[in-house]
Amino acid sequence: MATAVQSNSWVLILIIFFCLVFIGIGIGMLVKLMKNFSKARLSKNWLATPGKILFSELDALTTTDEDGYQTTTYIANIIFEYQVDKTSFKCDCINFDYGMRTSNRSKQQSIVEQYPAGSQVTVYYDPDEPEQAVLEKRVNGVFTTIMVSAVFILIGVIVAVMSLGVNPPIFLKNLLGN
């Protein structure tokens, strides 16, 4: 009997651990979003300088899972160059949350078309750290980030509550007086 209770306790501990991981991922995504908003707010004081697009290409990555199902994700690879006080810099940040691959090919293709190689652009850079620069002083994907974060947090909370409700550990039973 003691081994069955011990085995059950380990399962419960693993379930709670995975729930905490899910909740942590959701909270981490929200924290990153808030940091990007903070950067966007601070960028109001950034300076503008002319720049040039050096490289503009749509990158596709196809992965295959163990069942043979293929998924293709896309990202617009944009590299631009600009100068601050006669020092040249290169950067690949379009905006503050740039760098996430997506299955939305047309959205990434439109970014490549918006910033063709050789075109002149306005670059916004941090005067205190001129290597920090963007082409757009904004944050994209706010709704998607909030929704995905909420799903991770909800899954973690629901599974934790359900697993504790079905087989609560002894300390929880004592705490609740059952």
Write out the H or E segment, with its range, that includes residue 45.
none
Instruction: Could you please state the CATH topology (level 3) that the domain comprising 47-136 is classified under.
Output: OB fold (Dihydrolipoamide Acetyltransferase, E2P) (2.40.50)
- Encode the chain (178 residues) as per-residue pLDDT tens digits: 444 445 566 777 788 899 999 999 999 988 988 887 787 787 788 999 999 999 999 999 999 989 999 999 999 999 999 999 999 999 998 987 766 788 889 989 999 999 999 999 999 999 999 999 999 887 676 677 788 889 999 999 888 877 776 665 565 555 556 5
C-alpha torsion 156→63→91→45, nearest 10: -30
- Kindly report, residue by residue over 5-35, the tens digit of the pLDDT: 455 667 777 888 999 999 999 999 889 888 8
Position 1 scores a pLDDT of 47
Position 163 scores a pLDDT of 76
Position 162 scores a pLDDT of 79
Query: 176: which 2 tokens?
Result: 């609740």
What is the Cβ-side half-sphere exposure of residue 135, based on CA atoms within 13 angstroms?
21
Q: What are phi and psi of 19, to 5 degrees?
A: -65, -45
Domains of the chain, residue spans: 1-44+139-178, 47-136
Sign of CA dihedral 3, 5, 7, 10: negative
- DSSP for 88-150 reads EEEE--SSTT----BS-HHHHHHHHHHS-TT-EEEEEE-SSSTT-EESS-S---HHHHHHHHH
- DSSP for 12-42 reads HHHHHHHHHHHHHHHHHHHHHHHHHHHHHHH
What is the Cβ-side half-sphere exposure of residue 43, based on CA atoms within 13 angstroms?
21
Give dist(CA 69, CA 146) in Å, integer.
Answer: 28
Q: How far apart are the first and last CA of the chain?
A: 21
